[in-house]
Structure 1
């Protein structure tokens, strides 16, 4: 079953429900009517059809748990391997979490800290922006994509969003928060 959903959903430009079901891949398919709220858990193959207008909010809504963060990072990394731009920029999100919240769950803290460390090592789009004008728009690329277009980066402008020292300070200051013990009643 591994990879079946991905192959089936990308082959021939669409979904083949019968093929997915024949391979034992569970698929959630339903109609969303105006006013309906639909929650599809992480990793579920789904097909939502709206009968009218609706808002599609994906990946950027969910509980702030270690599991949710880890699964979102896994999807983000998978999208990178597929050269697909993720809906949620996990590097940006993780750096903003480190700057703005205190985390008391050790697993969530470790997950965020791992993303930060990878970000320092890889300096992805969240910090080093390789920009090239295309059809009167400025398009942002990661270094790998920019080099695929122009191995010597000809025609690209490189911008640094944050100083490395600032990122190192955020990384160093992101500590596991241990809430104080409540006095016995």
Structure 2
């Protein structure tokens, strides 16, 4: 749902107030989560955990945690399992390895770009037509 919400904010004009408020709330919460997650990593692991940039590619599928199956947006904790790279959320990555050893941390979106999308997402007002249909008797 988070990826879908960001795509809607990026690509579609929304003119329904309730939908707009819901989308704006989800965008805000995901930004807040990303910032707190990055702060946690910095405070807890200092520079021992490098966060690498791997921008999202066109048509790349949404990532889900291999353990709890929650959607993982932007900050991916990647490990190798049976010679395949798998994604975990922070909670499951910490359960897997408290020191996050042998875990690669990737980010897929630049935080300033996400903030710009959030700021640019505005409620779109539809013009009101002055023409009324004539009712025929």
TM normalised by structure 2 equals 0.66
Q: What's the C-alpha RMSD, in Å, of the aligned pairs?
A: 1.3
Give the aligned partner of residue 104 of structure 1: 15
Paired residues in the alignment total 96
How far apart, CA to CA, are the structure 1 residues paired with 2:85 and 2:130? Answer: 57
* CA drift at 1:183: 2.6
What SS class does the counterpart of residue 130 from structure 2 fall into?
coil
- Structure 1: state its 5+ residue gaps: 1-89
How far apart, CA to CA, are the structure 2 residues paired with 1:93 and 1:165? Answer: 19
How far apart, CA to CA, are the structure 2 residues paired with 1:103 and 1:117? Answer: 17
For residue 27 of structure 2, the aligned residue among 106, 112, 116 is 116
Query: Does residue 103 of structure 2 align to residue 153 of structure 1?
Result: no
Larger RCO (alpha carbons 8 Å, 6+ apart):
2
- Structure 2: state its 5+ residue gaps: 35-70, 133-137
Runs of 4+, deviation exceeding 6 Å: none
* CA drift at 1:184: 3.2
* CA drift at 1:125: 2.0
State the Cα deviation string for residues 103-134 of structure 1 (Å, max 9, x = none). Answer: 11100011111111111011272110110010
What SS class does the counterpart of residue 133 from structure 1 fall into?
strand
What SS class does the counterpart of residue 103 from structure 1 fall into?
coil
Give the aligned partner of residue 131 of structure 1: 78
